[in-house]
Amino acid sequence: MHLSRRPPTTWGVGRGLSSRPLYLLEVGYDGSAGRAVLKLYDEEEGRLIEVLDATGHKPYLLTDLPPEEIAEKYPEVLKHRGFDHMEVVEKYDALRDVKVKMTKVVARDPLSVGGTRRALRELLRGHAWEARIKYHHCYMYDSGLIPGMPYYAENGKLRPAPVEVPVDITEKVKELYGDDPELLGRAMEWVKLFQARIPKLKRVALDIEVYSPDPNRVPRPSEAPYPVIAVSFCSPDGFKKVLVLKRPELGSPPDGVPEAEFFSSERELLRRAFEILERYPVVLTFNGDAFDLPYLRNRALKLGMREEEIPIEWRPGADYARVRNAVHIDLYRFFTNRSMKVYAFGGKYREGRSLDEISEALLGEGKVSLDKPISELSYEKLIRYSLRDAELTCRLTTFDDELVLKLIILMMRISKLGIEDLTRHNISSWIRSMLYFEHRRRGYLIPNEEDLRRVKGQTDTRAIIKGKKYMGAVVIDPLPGVFFNVVVVDFASLYPSLVTRWNLSYETVRCPHEECRDNRIPGLSHWVCKKRRGLMSEVVGFLRDFRV
């Protein structure tokens, strides 16, 4: 079977797609089309639909230089091969609490904005804003699309599917925010993120085993020097399969193993593996970014298979390994996220560096133990070992009523990150994306790091711990001795409550208003704005009140 890349469709009007909700899982960029491509999950048919943007959105950066000054002093910008056009836009500068005119420099492709030495942001160094945001993120922020949420495709656009909020929850939100109609409206939008249905994702877990003459050395995926001797698949839909390479030293393949398929040709084994991959819109691996998928791709190329036959996209130095017409979740990178390890799973596993450790902690079952190297295993033991790895990877997404996938989709909605980005980045990236989205939605200028340092860089305390920038929380040393009738006092959501209570946000601390300088934070020289609600204070308040 020859695989070829299916091109993204145009909008699904007239194709029956507007009659049912589609869940946005990811946004990418199609270089050949020069447009964003949206990956939408059709739960009814269990497939991923790739749709090209039809709005004409293009990459851009903002600058404080007017168009006339750019034309006069920076003519290389207009001569740049990727320059498209300029337009003047109005933004709200929250740092200075003023509206400002900015020039929007629009490019034909993302690399023209940034990524090369002669990119537009380099030509406008010192005068560029919002120039380091990845294009697919920029697209989502501008369009207001929220990953993980349901949409209808109508007339070339996505329309949010209605989300029903129970009456009792609506009343509780009104109690909290009812005296401010604008705040109430924003609060209800957040409530919908938690109330919207979470789809059941059709998915398959993949694991491979590779022959190696040296049992103490793992072959490099970039070189793929040795044969793939087994590829295992496991899906919640009941599908289980192990593709096994016949080897003379192991004799005849055993009978009566329904999960196994044997191949005399490694190339045919890989063809069959790619055929199975193409059936599923979501592919699960454990360390598949670094090993399984790059190895399969490079091994197939080494065996003479053509690019269009290989549904895996990867290049040396890439952060991700991707599967065409699917999304790839590397669970290794998700479970090693410290926030997930500590807060979501209560520290049940220590490091999370191995499938065995995580599955033992969360599932109560680990990998098949081996008494000899993988390359020396019998067919039966190899099948059992490889299939168990795929089963464990799959079960990590099914245990406790699909807790992990529900958590992933909820965090996608909060962070405004697609499923592939969310599962590979840490919580600081989640928070940054969430705040960038809020800035764009409200028409705020996203400040540069240098702006924050220049305007708000003053600190009042000195760090006690080496490597820190300022003093942390005060720790009271306990009194030695034995005590009875001890009462425990716990401040629920301490830091979120402080942020909300004191209206702490980058634009409200040391605000530019003279009349706010008397609203000082106890023990510090900093003051907090009394005239406006801080963006971070508001968002953190929502999350605290909704007990995320």
Residue 156: the pLDDT is 66
Q: What does the angle CA 388 – CA 338 – CA 145 come to, to the nearest 5 degrees? A: 90
How buried is residue 490: exposed, middle or buried, by Cβ count under 10 Å (0-12/13-18/19+)? exposed
Provide the pLDDT for residue 473: 73
pLDDT score of 465 more than 80: no
Q: Is residue 469 helix, strand or coil?
A: coil
Q: What is the pLDDT of residues 141-159, one digit of tens each?
A: 999 999 999 999 887 689 9
pLDDT tier at 17, thresholds 50, 70, 90: low
The residues facing 17 across adjacent strands are: none
Q: What is the pTM of this model?
A: 0.92
Mean pLDDT lowest for which of 7-21, 56-70, 126-140?
7-21
Q: Rounded CA gap, 53 and 138, in Å? A: 13
Q: Is the pLDDT of residue 336 over 50?
A: yes
pLDDT digits over 243-255, tens only? Answer: 999 999 999 999 9
Q: Looking at 129-229, list the stretches that DSSP marks H as alpha helix, in order from N- to C-terminal side.
A: 135-143, 167-177, 181-195
Q: Are strands 83-93 and 35-42 parallel, antiparallel or unpaired?
A: unpaired
- Band (pLDDT 50/70/90 cuts) for residue 91 is very high
Structure tokens at 314: 């990867």
C-alpha dist (Å) from residue 84 to 20, 87, 112: 37, 10, 10
Q: How far is CA 138 from the centre of its chain?
A: 14
CB burial readout 157-173, b (16+ within 10 A) else e: ebebeebeeeeeeeeeb
**Residue 2: pLDDT above 70?**
no
Q: Count how many residues are written for the chain.
A: 548
Q: 59 pLDDT exceeds 70? A: yes
Q: Residue 372 in 3-state DSSP?
A: coil
Band of pLDDT at residue 385, cut at 50, 70 and 90:
very high
The two structure tokens encoding residue 259 = 């999960």
Domain ranges of the chain: 1-155, 203-403, 458-548
The closest alpha carbon to 27, from 433, 540, 528, belongs to: 433
Residue 458 has pLDDT above 80, yes or no: no
User: Hey, what are 380's tokens?
Assistant: 């039966």
* CA–CA dist 310, 5 (Å, integer): 9
What number is the average pLDDT over the span 219-244? 97
Model pLDDT for residues 412-450, shown as the tens digit of each residue: 999 999 999 999 999 999 999 999 999 999 999 999 999
Amino acid letter for position 316: P
Q: Which superfamily does 1-155 belong to?
A: DNA Polymerase, chain B, domain 1 (3.30.342.10)
Q: How far apart are CA 322 and CA 283, in angstroms?
A: 9
CA distances from 450 to 70, 320, 341, 440, 447 (A): 22, 30, 33, 19, 8
Report how far residue 53's alpha carbon sits from residue 317's, in angstroms, rounded to the nearest whole number. Answer: 28
Bigger pLDDT: 475 vs 73: 73
**Phi-psi group of 346: left, alpha or beta (phi > 0 → left; psi -120 to 50 → alpha; rest → beta):** left
What is the percent of the chain with per-residue pLDDT over 70, rounded to a whole number? Answer: 95
Q: Which residues pair with 50 in a beta bridge?
A: 39
Share the mean pLDDT of the chain: 93
Tokens of 244: 């096994």
Is 6's pLDDT higher than 70? no
Question: What confidence score (pLDDT) does residue 56 get?
Answer: 94
pLDDT of residue 344 exceeding 70:
yes
Q: What integer pLDDT is reported at residue 519 of this predicted model?
A: 96
**Pairwise CA distance, residues 365 & 357, whole Å:** 9
- The encoded tokens of residue 12 equal 């699904």
Q: Judge whether 1-155 and 203-403 match in fold.
A: no
Count of C-beta atoms within a 10 Å radius of residue 25: 23
As a whole number, mean pLDDT of residues 168-174 equals: 96
Topology of domain 203-403, CATH: Nucleotidyltransferase; domain 5 (3.30.420)
Yes or no: say if 204 and 284 are a contact pair by the CB < 8 Å rule.
Answer: yes
Q: Is 532 helix (H, G, I), strand (E, B) or coil?
A: coil
- Which string of DSSP letters, residue by residue, matches 218-254? PPPTTT--S-EEEEEEE-TTS-EEEEEE--GGG-SPP
